[in-house]
Chain A
Amino acid sequence: MRGQRAGPAETRRLIELIEHALDVAELTPGARDDLIAEMSGDVDDLYLLCRRRGDDDATALAKIEQRLIASPNALRELVALHRPLHVRLVDRMSGRERGGWEQWTPVAAVVPLLALAVRQLLVPGSFGTLALFGWLVLIVGLAAAATTLAAVRPRAPDDRRSPRLRSARTLVMGLAVAAPALALFGSAIGLYRAAGVLSSGDAVALPVLADWLATAGLLLTAGIACAFGIGFCWIALTSRMLRDGPAD
């Protein structure tokens, strides 16, 4: 592990170079640790071998740097081989590995659902007593879209967007969870109210249940469609992050 190296002190600078290069790469912690362990082990062993063969310190380090310290191209290739699952997914969804109708099919599936949910929300009474939750779900979706647009748009010609994209991605991920959670919470409240009415014995059971089923179904559809839509925002942000390269 880092900070507990048993290798020679002379190679510390080179190993820090490797660690820094891999720290900013889009890798899972396990893959990063394995790559660092493999490369730093080779650096240490080659250093000891060079010294045994009679090279002085500077020559040994120069030989190692020339052979084992990865150039940006080699590093990019190595990182691409160890892309985490979500990055592979983004690559496929963002069209870097496929294009045309395949790329747009998921969007085409979600957009009509969202449009239907918004349309129903605008019809008075369609969400019944759960209209508040319907609006909240819509606001969450709009907030995610606004966050994505604000983060993706460059503010200056040399703007480094990576930190902004990273924090926007975290926020968007939270919003993607919030949308269906709000819909579920609203549906639960609707069920609780319906149960209250039924237990009072004042109303006929069937219309109350039917009303709850209709509004809860609509609300849940809106929440799930919104989560999918926000998922595309997340993919767009991750795709931009990968295109921009690692943050400094």
Chain B
Amino acid sequence: MATPPFEPQQFVKAMNELIVLATIGDSPVHGYQIALDVEERSGGMFTLQHGTLYPILHRLEGEGLIRGRWSSGSGRRRKVYAITAAGRRAVAVRELESREVFSRFFGVVGGGSGGAAKAG
């Protein structure tokens, strides 16, 4: 079966979703905490800026990969998120897919640099 063509925008979107999904654990966590965790775990390389976190969270919630619920403390409503069983399965599948993409990428790039070295 032919491999579908690579679409960079879709890949970036899928990577952002995977990063968020992999960051959310079983215990409920606030949205802002997810953004901070992504930054801290990636050593500041990945940041979810300009509110891009919210469409990702709501999309994942719509797909049933995370579960959002409201908690109220000190008279204020707060939304927290936790991963679902489907979400954990999705992390595993998407991680494999990402590895496949990177494997092919380095297959191309590695071959290129080897060729350049030989040419030089």
Q: Which one of B47, B53, B76 contacts A6 once the chains associate, using CB atoms below 8 Å?
A: B76
Q: Residue A70 at the B interface, CB < 8 A?
A: yes
0/1 interface trace, chain B 48-59, chain A, CB 8 Å (1 if under): 111111110011
Q: How far is the CA of A7 from the CA of B77 in the complex (A)?
A: 11
Binding site for A on B (CB under 8 A): 30-32, 35-36, 47-55, 58-59, 62, 70, 74-79
User: A40: shortest Cβ distance to chain B, in Å?
Assistant: 9
Q: Name the residue of chain B whose CB is nearest to the CB of A81.
A: B58
Q: Which one of A6, A42, A81 contacts B32 once the chains associate, using CB atoms below 8 Å?
A: A42
Using Cβ atoms and an 8 Å threshold, which residues of chain A touch B47? 67
Using Cβ atoms and an 8 Å threshold, which residues of chain A touch B70? 37
- List 15 A-B pairs, Cβ < 8 Å: A5-B76, A6-B76, A37-B79, A38-B78, A39-B51, A41-B30, A42-B30, A42-B32, A49-B36, A67-B35, A67-B48, A67-B50, A67-B53, A77-B55, A78-B51
Q: Which one of A6, A37, A78 contacts B54 once the chains associate, using CB atoms below 8 Å?
A: A78
Q: How far is the CA of A145 from the CA of B12 in the complex (A)?
A: 45
Count of CB-CB pairs between chains A and B under 8 Å? 75
- A68 and B53 within 8 A (CB): yes
A interface bracket (residues with beta carbon within 8 Å of B):
20 to 34
Q: Name the residue of chain B whose CB is nearest to the CB of A40.
A: B76
Q: Which 10 pairs show the lowest CB-CB distances between chains A and B?
A: A70-B51, A71-B50, A77-B55, A42-B32, A46-B32, A38-B79, A74-B51, A41-B78, A37-B77, A78-B55
- A68 and B51 within 8 A (CB): yes
